[in-house]
Structure 1
Amino acid sequence: MEIWALVAASVGIVATGLVAGTVFAYSNSVMPGLRKADDRTMVTAIRLLTSSVANPVFLIISNLALVAQIAFVVLAFVANLLSAWVGIAALVLYAATQLITFAGNLPLNKAIINGGEPTADNGWHGLRTDFEDRWTMLNHWRVVTAAASTVLLVVAVGMM
């Protein structure tokens, strides 16, 4: 059972790390770069980026991270491993990542996508203002929770 827990944790580390890396890339390069763009360019770019991120590969990886973490916790408890408790902490942090995504970032994505095509420059500015600062702050939190989840999974493996 311990070997399967190790496999699940390893898959969880890779998948969660990929999610953490994706949200980190947005916090570290995409959003700072778009902050320098004019309103119309920023809104158009966000619309294009948002629609491209919601692809099967990313959806599989983000769901695989959750499934692998759950499997690790279950298998670690069955094997009576102390690392199961660290796995729970990692799982809670990854669940927080998903909660922030579904309750915060995705509704903002939908709002900016469904905001129509403004006919005046101030319409583009309004779409940007309603989106940018809140989305960016929520994404920074996703970086923290996903990265911390990954680190805790590595710690859990080290305890095995």
Structure 2
Amino acid sequence: MTTDSHCVPLAPQAPSPRPSRAAGILLVMSVTTVGLMAGVFFAFDVSIMPGLARTDDRVYAEAMRNFNQVIDDSGLFALIFLGALAVTVAVAVLEYRKGRRTVALWAGAAAALYAVALLVTVSVNIPLNNELAAIGDPAKAGDLSVVDKFKEVWETTNIMRTLLCTAALGCLAHCLKLHGRAGVGVPG
């Protein structure tokens, strides 16, 4: 029998940096807030908008104006809506600084997806909400043609927001898995 003298023993693999407790807490907050937003958008897709489609344009316009006013007046909604991006970016930054690049990459992808959902909201959905509000009291409005445009565009972009937030949530779920594995000695 011959032995191969050219074999070089592998150097022991460096242990993966330990997950930070702060990143773990922020990751749970991120999953929760992005999940809440995905749920809000999904609820509009599967129940609120189809239910409103069964009404006439005046009821539709009044209901949407009421929903938008309640959302505009809700500090909690604004906190979750904007906070979801803030905590997701914070997770990506903390994990990157900790040397946990894979987790940081997935968190960064989640932040980018959620940021696109925010961009769609600010550039499309909010202006449509404002156009609908500009008609005034739907019971007294003579021209409700804005409602048809609103329905078509708003509902389509809301589906986009749902898909973007759901994809972001999937990325964050993967982050949780990686974060948890690192806590038991599996590289993250």
- AA matched with 2:63: A
Matches within 5 A, 1:1-160: 2-54=20-72, 55-81=74-100, 82-117=102-137, 118-120=140-142, 123-124=143-144, 126-160=145-179
Query: How far is 1:151 from its partner?
Result: 1.3
Q: Which has the higher contact order (CA 8 A, sep 6+)?
A: 1
> 5+ residue gaps in structure 1?
none
Query: How far is 1:119 from its partner?
Result: 4.4
Percent identity reads: 27
**Aligned-partner Cα distance in 1 for 2:153–2:25:** 37
**Greater per-residue helix proportion:** 1
- AA matched with 2:113: L
- 2:65 touches 2:133 (CA, 8 Å); kept in 1? yes
- 1:89 touches 1:152 (CA, 8 Å); kept in 2? yes
Distance 1:119 1:91, change over 3 A: closer
Output the TM-score relative to the length of structure 2: 0.80
Give 4+ residue runs of structure 1 displaced > 4 Å after superposition: none
Output the TM-score relative to the length of structure 1: 0.94
Distance 1:75 1:45, change over 3 A: same
Aligned to 2:63, the other structure's residue is in SS state: helix
**Aligned-partner Cα distance in 1 for 2:165–2:71:** 17
Query: How far is 1:130 from its partner?
Result: 2.2
After superposition, give the CA deviation of every residue in 1:59-100 in whole Å (9 maximum; x if it has no partner): 011121111101100100011112111111101000011001
**Aligned-partner Cα distance in 2 for 1:98–1:132:** 19
What root-mean-square deviation, in Å, do the aligned CA atoms of Structure 1 and Structure 2 show? Answer: 1.2
Query: How far is 1:116 from its partner?
Result: 2.8
**Aligned-partner Cα distance in 1 for 2:24–2:41:** 26
- AA matched with 2:167: A
